[in-house]
């Protein structure tokens, strides 16, 4: 099973790297698998440090809402 988490690209760096935001936590990821489709402001699915797919904002927001529900459920 693999898990990919949506993140928003906040900065594109050299060598096919980017800084992405996971809801307030920023990390550097590789853009090698998504190439020129990755732009600042776009959402990507990230798995083990690699952006594996560019997704639309609506899909990203739906997934992030589900993650939020899971977090809230675990706090109970």
Is it the case that residue 1 has pLDDT exceeding 70?
no
pTM for this predicted structure: 0.85
- CB count in 10 Å sphere of residue 33: 16
Specify the 3-state DSSP secondary structure of 17. strand
CA-based torsion, 34, 12, 25, 30: positive or negative = positive
Mean pLDDT value across residues 62-73: 85
Q: How far apart are CA 46 and CA 51, in angstroms?
A: 4
What are the tens digits of pLDDT across the range 31-65?
999 998 999 999 999 999 999 999 999 999 898 88
Q: Which DSSP symbol is given to 48?
A: T
Is it the case that residue 75 has pLDDT exceeding 80?
no
**What pairs with residue 29 in β-bridges?**
18
List the domains of the chain with CATH numbers: 5-75 (2.30.30.140)
Residue 25 neighbours by CB under 8 Å, 6+ apart: none
Q: State the pLDDT at residue 49.
A: 96
């Amino acid at each position: 099973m693999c898990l990919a988490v949506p993140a928003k690209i906040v900065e594109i760096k050299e060598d096919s790297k980017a800084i992405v935001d996971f809801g307030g936590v920023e990390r550097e990821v590789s853009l090698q698998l998504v190439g020129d489709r990755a732009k600042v402001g776009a959402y990507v699915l990230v798995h083990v440090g690699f952006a594996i797919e560019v997704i639309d904002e609506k899909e990203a927001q739906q997934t992030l809402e589900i993650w939020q529900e899971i977090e809230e459920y675990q706090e109970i």
